[in-house]
């Protein structure tokens, strides 16, 4: 791994440089996020994180050997997701054409290289084989996870932190199963995300994010994580079962499905924006934004650790599926019953948030 350190460092540094450069162009290009009733950040914030991460990922990837980077079709598909997101950031596309374009981008990323999830279980589990549904299932998975990350992009550091955690666990799983070469192609994206988090994550020296990733970034990260899950779960290069790998990105998936069910139950469009996301519930319940991000990213990392153990220990896919169902039930119970019962210690202002204006905590633009 140390032999690839310069390329990975380049992904990190190039993202930092590009974010710093693109911030100045954000206002003339109209790529800024403005606060409203749902978006409670302060002032105009540049939406250039995705436009910085993607070229950094490409440049760092191309510096690797041909066998250690994603195929050109994947670069093209990711570029299409970034373009769709950037246009949506600028002019707010309607839901139906946006979704159709996302399916086209997903097909471009996976179909030429035949990156498909052929079975939900391990290679020997014929009962979970998808057969003719493999390609449609994979397309829905890529588009669904891209939108799940878009919906999760609601607090400083949240979508980036969850994506970094998912990519980390995917890489660690491949390496633990002696498939290090399979992990190398995703590492430039991981380090590009880390470079973006320098500007987006709250910490002692940054009270709030100075840059958002925008739809371009959230769609890139969601599609990227889905692509690598599908790559690890399908074909001759299988690393682990799809169910085990799904734990690395389980939280945004569960959150999105929960939102869709609740919106349909309220006779609203599944794509209608609201403040019923898990991060909104925590923040509106008095949890400081930084603490809410830490709790959700921490929970996602813990779920990823379960997937890692499941893959390495070869835990039965049925047990892993049952575990995912339990996570979904726990999430549903929390979002329905917990908002009025958050413990006082959880809602107590954090030291870093106490001095911020009352409308500062909730930001970003997840649907």
150 is in an annotated binding site: yes
User: Other C-beta atoms within 10 Å of 343: how many?
Assistant: 9
The answer to whether 38 and 273 are in contact (CB under 8 A) is: yes
Secondary structure of residue 16 in the 3-state scheme: helix
Beta strands in 191-337 (DSSP E): none
| Closest to 228 in 3D by CA, of 145, 321, 149, 105 | 145
215 is in an annotated binding site: yes
The answer to whether 277 and 174 are in contact (CB under 8 A) is: no
**Angle at CA of residue 58, ends 161 and 363, nearest 5°:** 30
Provide the CB-side half-sphere exposure for 86 (13 A, CA).
15
The answer to whether 231 and 106 are in contact (CB under 8 A) is: no
Cα distances from 158 to residues 98, 154, 243, in angstroms, run 23, 7, 24
| Closest to 117 in 3D by CA, of 228, 280, 249, 260 | 228
Strand partners, 45: 33
Alpha carbon 208 to its chain centroid, in Å, reads 20
Numbered residues of the known binding site? 150, 215
Numbered residues of the known binding site for Mg(2+)? 150, 215
């Amino acid at each position: 791994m140390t032999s690839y350190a310069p390329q990975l460092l380049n992904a990190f540094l190039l993202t930092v440089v590009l974010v710093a450069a693109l911030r100045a162009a954000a206002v003339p290009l109209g790529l800024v996020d403005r606060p409203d009733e749902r978006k409670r950040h302060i002032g105009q914030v540049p939406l250039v994180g995705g436009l910085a991460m993607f070229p950094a990922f490409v440049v760092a990837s191309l510096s690797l050997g041909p066998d250690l980077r994603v195929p050109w079709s994947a670069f093209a598909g990711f570029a299409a997701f970034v373009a769709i997101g950037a246009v949506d950031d600028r002019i707010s596309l309607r839901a139906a054409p946006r979704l159709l374009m996302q399916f086209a981008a997903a097909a471009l990323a996976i179909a030429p290289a035949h990156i498909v999830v052929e079975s939900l279980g391990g290679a020997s589990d014929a009962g979970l084989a998808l057969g003719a549904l493999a390609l449609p299932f994979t397309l829905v998975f890529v588009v669904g996870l891209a939108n799940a990350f878009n919906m999760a992009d609601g607090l400083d550091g949240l979508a980036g932190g969850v994506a970094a955690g998912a990519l980390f666990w995917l890489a660690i799983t491949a390496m633990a199963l002696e498939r290090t070469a399979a992990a190398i192609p995703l590492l430039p994206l991981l380090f590009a995300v880390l470079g973006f988090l320098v500007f987006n994550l709250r910490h002692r020296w940054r009270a709030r994010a100075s840059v958002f990733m925008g739809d371009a970034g959230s769609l890139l990260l969601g599609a990227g994580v889905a692509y690598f899950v599908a790559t690890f779960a399908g074909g001759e290069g299988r690393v682990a079962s799809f169910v085990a790998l799904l734990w690395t990105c389980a939280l945004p998936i569960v959150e999105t499905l929960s939102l869709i069910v609740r919106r349909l139950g309220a006779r609203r469009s599944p794509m209608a924006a609201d403040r019923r996301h898990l991060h909104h519930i925590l923040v509106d319940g008095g949890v400081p934004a930084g603490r809410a991000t830490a709790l959700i990213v921490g929970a996602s990392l813990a779920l990823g650790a379960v997937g890692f153990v499941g893959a390495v220990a070869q835990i039965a896919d049925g047990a892993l599926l049952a575990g995912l169902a339990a996570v979904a039930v726990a999430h549903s119970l929390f979002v329905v019953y917990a908002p009025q019962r958050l413990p006082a210690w959880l809602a107590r202002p954090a030291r870093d948030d106490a001095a911020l204006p009352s409308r500062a905590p909730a930001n970003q633009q997840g649907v």
